[in-house]
Structure 1
Amino acid sequence: MMFTGALLQRVTHWKPMRVVDELFILIPMLNNLKGNLELVLSARLATASHIGVLDRRSSRRALIGGSLSLLQLQALCVSALAATVSFLLGLALPDTAVATGSTGEKVAGDGKGTRGWHVGKVIRELVKQAPHKAPKIKDESTKSGWREFIIVLATAMSSASLSGIMLGSFMCSIVLLCRRFKLNPDNIAPPIASCLGDLVTLTLTALTSTLFFYTSGRPQDPVILSVPQNTTSAFLLIRDTPPAPAHFPFLPFLVVVGLVISIPFVFQLCRHLTFSRPLIRDGWSPLVVAMAIESGTGLVLDWYVGRYRGFGMLAVVMTSLPGSVGAVFVSRLSTELHQSESSTKAKSPDGGSPKLVSLTLLAVGFPVLLSYLLFVWGAGWLPLPIGFVGLFVAIFGITTMAALALAYYLTHLFWQYGFDPDAYCLPVHSALVDLIGQLFLVACYELASILGNDVKIKIS
């Protein structure tokens, strides 16, 4: 999670991200998509482990093979849809430069010190800033066109496919090892799937977008409108990546064609495998709903990542940690419900009540958060005021409680209507937590700025 935040903060200054603005909107959507697929996979395998499906070699092979083929099919299809939606959103939004006024605005007298005025100021600031994108480097020739769309589409599909192969195999191994050593995969697999999935997917997205950007034949001499200064440490201030030595303008198009052609073959493979055949039609609607919710998260990231110091790094922990806590809770509740349906056992896998489990997960989150903040502060990556840090910890607690409450009610709601929480609850829950976490983080920055903390990036 620490490296994911540092990587996100760094890639915001890479030229492909600054020039092709739709890539910024794509990052949260694609990260959430891949995280959802691995979360569903880990939760489904954990439930199968508890009810004994993984104990038989024949059923174990059918389950793992069907799960990986289904994961690849879903990754290819939904990543293409996510790329299309992010590109259309990028075209629809106006690209307005941010005013370079004073960022250290103070709150002063005349009755403006009341709590109601502060809350109203926060809301007005959010509404005023929301329609504008963060300052970007833009090519002086044209707006985004078909070449940029091919870059976004190739980036989304290739990174989703590669991360699906890597992370899917890894998560299957994790669940099997948990079963081998008598560990509860509900407590181990979802956090690993969430955090490691974000890191791997973000890394692949950054690398593939850079490769396709420099080999697409696109003009490479942008005009700098404004560049944020003094964001974080020198490590994170590396502005760009070295240009790719090769120049192959048809590479993104060929990658897209190859991946699209592979979809029917993966579909036929899923149809021939016993486990994945009945699941081909299930599980698509929560992924599409989650992607729609994540489009809002992508807009929040695109609007505010260039305004606030360390926003990208803190956005990762504000969404990933509560999301992981909620995913563990969903997985445990789902296992408990499946066990209660197949036997007389009505307790959770470790015998704890849902209330006790939720309180334990809430308590576990704070030491992890403080360790994260201490590490990035000690490394010089996050020089933020102490007042802002205290406010951030409080907002994090609220976000985690919201994630646990959503996990409990969504799991029982889907179960009540006959839907498997492993497939339906986790994607929707993850997307909602991402959106809520980033909105709370924006409010935290604005409130800290109103209280006199210097947390905004100065534009020169």
Structure 2
Amino acid sequence: MGENTGTLRQRQLYNEKPIKAKRMVDSVEIDDDLSLSSDTCVLLNQGETKTETVIISREPLWATAIQMFIPFLLAGFGMVAASLVLDKVQHWPVYQNVTEVYILVPALLGLKGNLEMTLASRLSTHANLGDLDSRKQKLSLITGNIALILCQAIVVGFLASIAAVVLGWIPRGEINIKHALLLCASSIVTAFGASFILGLVMIGVIIMSRYFSINPDNVATPIAASLGDLTTLACLSWLSSMFYYIMDTHLYLTSSLIVFGLLLVPVWAWIASQNEHTHKVLFTGWSPVITAMIISSVGGLILDFTVSTFKGVAVFQLVINGVGGNLVAVQASRISTELHRIGTPGHLPQHMQICISPCSAFCDKKETSHAETAQMLMLMVIPGHLIFSYAISYLQAGHTSFTIIFMVVYLSAALLQVFLLLYIAQVMTLSMWKHGVDPDNSAIPYLTALGDLLGTLLLGIAFQFLYLIGDRDSDVGD
């Protein structure tokens, strides 16, 4: 075997289950049932035959659970803090008089799924493949990805404001130019600032995770969410309120910020286009980001309606949406990383077939299945929401009484949301890969946007159901 083996190289990989190696030597297939103390990638070369075989040791389930749950809790408390902010700012004059700001909330908060979580998923894959170990390559990846997300942030922020103006115009039949400029300036500046800050945080988290041998797929996306909601919402509320008070006297300021922001787009686009790691994404990654923004804007329209009817929705909307988005992003990121390890887009491995039923996504017993991870993520839903609801209740936030009936209905809505998202993630990620689309760039924006839409819709239905059965608060329906 010695002369046939060729070269041997190692890189750190992560997966729940081991995959038995198969190699071709002199046209004879040999099975290797190897027991390795560390994760190993074996590259076999012989003449014209080149077969890359990945041997992936099992990532202990308890380690995966801890790595997931701690960032999940941190992200949850970040969402609780953001919910408290939304519960407070909904009474500000700008939210009362320019209600289209509510439409911006899910769209801009969705940027963490469209941009930061996608960035985290992309860089997690590079980290797991060892691409961040080289100083030169690390610098190239960081520069290209920061330029890419800033370019996308400005464009998405601008389009989100246009969508908010249009969706606000539909029921009223008129457009207030001052309000439109306020929405546009607030959206662009918020998107740019939040994406820059969170992008740097994500890069730091992934580099540190790699340094301490922690799987970044398990921790990066929840941490992106832990700061994303609070940072973005605080920025949006402060800026929109400031522009609201000066829009009658300093309208030129908002106009200048819009023009300056749009002029920066070609600058960041040029930097990203010159980078080998982001050149392709710059030209192919717009569809999922923009589609996700539109989906989130529809969720914002639902939020605008439900908040005007049920004041208690505001404090729970960010929590239910954030929990669903965080959990499904972890699952999508892990599946995408495994796909990158063992193949190329367009070629789906035989052991990873597209699910055709929810049962296969949650109960599959195959060693290479992600069903165990899905089950673990589902188990986090109820404890997580109970902890976050207790924090909201302890801080006496919101307009909702925490009755047993309310908690049962609320938790049912949350479980249904996460169940649907995890199933959709399994089907969507594998389908994208089979059709030659890199899920690192496309899956998470769609999934987090669907999480926002499903969460807001199910929460609205839950409050309407509670109202109908008589479990209502004094201000509901006023």
Scaled by the length of structure 2, the TM-score of the pair is 0.76
Aligned to 1:152: 183
Aligned to 1:242: none
Aligned to 1:180: 211
Aligned to 2:274: 272
1:277 Cα deviation after fit: 2.2
1:144 Cα deviation after fit: 4.1
Write out per-residue CA displacement over residues 67-101 of structure 1, whole angstroms, 9 at most, x where no aligned residue: 00000000011111111111011011139xxxxxx
Aligned to 1:2: 80
SS in 2 for 1:305: helix
Residue identity matched to 1:33: L
Correspondence for 2:405 among 383, 387, 393? 387
Residue identity matched to 2:444: L
User: Unpaired runs of 5+ in structure 2?
Assistant: 1-78, 353-366
Q: Do the aligned partners of 2:161 and 2:183 also contact (CA within 8 Å) in 1?
A: yes
2:446 maps to 1:428: yes
Cα distance between partner residues in 2 of 1:389 and 1:352: 36
Alignment of 1:433-448 (within 5 A): 433-448=451-466
Write out per-residue CA displacement over residues 296-345 of structure 1, whole angstroms, 9 at most, x where no aligned residue: 10111000112224201111111110111100000000011111117999
Following TM superposition, where does structure 1 have runs of at least 4 consecutive aligned residues deviating by more than 4 angstroms? 342-347
1:458 Cα deviation after fit: 4.9
Aligned to 2:161: 83
Cα distance between partner residues in 2 of 1:91 and 1:409: 36
Alignment of 1:274-313 (within 5 A): 274-313=276-315
Q: Do the aligned partners of 2:311 and 2:476 also contact (CA within 8 Å) in 1?
A: no
Higher relative contact order (CA 8 A, sep 6+): 1
Correspondence for 2:133 among 49, 55, 71? 55
Radius of gyration: which is bigger?
Answer: 2
Correspondence for 2:428 among 382, 406, 410? 410
Q: Do the aligned partners of 1:35 and 1:198 also contact (CA within 8 Å) in 2?
A: no
Residue identity matched to 2:410: F
Aligned to 1:21: 99
1:194 Cα deviation after fit: 2.4
Q: Do the aligned partners of 1:20 and 1:144 also contact (CA within 8 Å) in 2?
A: no
2:437 maps to 1:419: yes
Cα distance between partner residues in 1 of 2:459 and 2:193: 31
1:415 Cα deviation after fit: 0.8
Write out per-residue CA displacement over residues 374-398 of structure 1, whole angstroms, 9 at most, x where no aligned residue: 1111221144133111211122111
Cα distance between partner residues in 2 of 1:48 and 1:345: 24
Cα distance between partner residues in 1 of 2:217 and 2:379: 18
Q: Do the aligned partners of 1:29 and 1:298 also contact (CA within 8 Å) in 2?
A: yes
Aligned to 1:331: 333
2:361 maps to 1:359: no
Question: Kindly tell me: are residues 76 and 176 of structure 1, through their superposed partners in 2, closer, same or farther at Cα, counting changes over 3 Å?
Answer: same
Q: Do the aligned partners of 2:87 and 2:397 also contact (CA within 8 Å) in 1?
A: no
Larger strand fraction of residues = 2
Cα distance between partner residues in 2 of 1:275 and 1:70: 10
1:27 Cα deviation after fit: 1.2
Question: Kindly tell me: are residues 210 and 323 of structure 1, through their superposed partners in 2, closer, same or farther at Cα, counting changes over 3 Å?
Answer: same
Alignment of 1:236-255 (within 5 A): 248-255=250-257
Q: Do the aligned partners of 1:9 and 1:313 also contact (CA within 8 Å) in 2?
A: yes
1:148 Cα deviation after fit: 1.3
Cα distance between partner residues in 2 of 1:212 and 1:273: 36
1:61 Cα deviation after fit: 0.6
Question: Kindly tell me: are residues 352 and 380 of structure 1, through their superposed partners in 2, closer, same or farther at Cα, counting changes over 3 Å?
Answer: farther
1:23 Cα deviation after fit: 1.3
Q: Do the aligned partners of 1:29 and 1:294 also contact (CA within 8 Å) in 2?
A: yes
Residue identity matched to 1:212: F
1:6 Cα deviation after fit: 0.8
Question: Kindly tell me: are residues 309 and 17 of structure 1, through their superposed partners in 2, closer, same or farther at Cα, counting changes over 3 Å?
Answer: closer
1:215 Cα deviation after fit: 1.3
Alignment of 1:197-216 (within 5 A): 197-216=228-247
Write out per-residue CA displacement over residues 247-298 of structure 1, whole angstroms, 9 at most, x where no aligned residue: 5332111111211121222222222333222321021000111112112101
Residue identity matched to 1:430: T
Q: Tell me how large the CA RMSD over aligned residues is.
A: 2.0
1:353 Cα deviation after fit: 3.5
SS in 2 for 1:53: coil
Q: Do the aligned partners of 1:306 and 1:457 also contact (CA within 8 Å) in 2?
A: no
1:416 Cα deviation after fit: 1.1
Cα distance between partner residues in 1 of 2:447 and 2:428: 8
1:213 Cα deviation after fit: 1.1
SS in 1 for 2:168: helix
1:14 Cα deviation after fit: 0.9
Amino-acid identity (%): 29
Write out per-residue CA displacement over residues 183-211 of structure 1, whole angstroms, 9 at most, x where no aligned residue: 01111011111232121111111111111
- Give the aligned length: 381
Cα distance between partner residues in 2 of 1:64 and 1:411: 25
Residue identity matched to 1:276: T
Scaled by the length of structure 1, the TM-score of the pair is 0.79
1:413 Cα deviation after fit: 1.1
Cα distance between partner residues in 2 of 1:173 and 1:271: 23
2:149 maps to 1:71: yes
Q: Do the aligned partners of 2:90 and 2:96 also contact (CA within 8 Å) in 1?
A: yes
1:427 Cα deviation after fit: 0.6
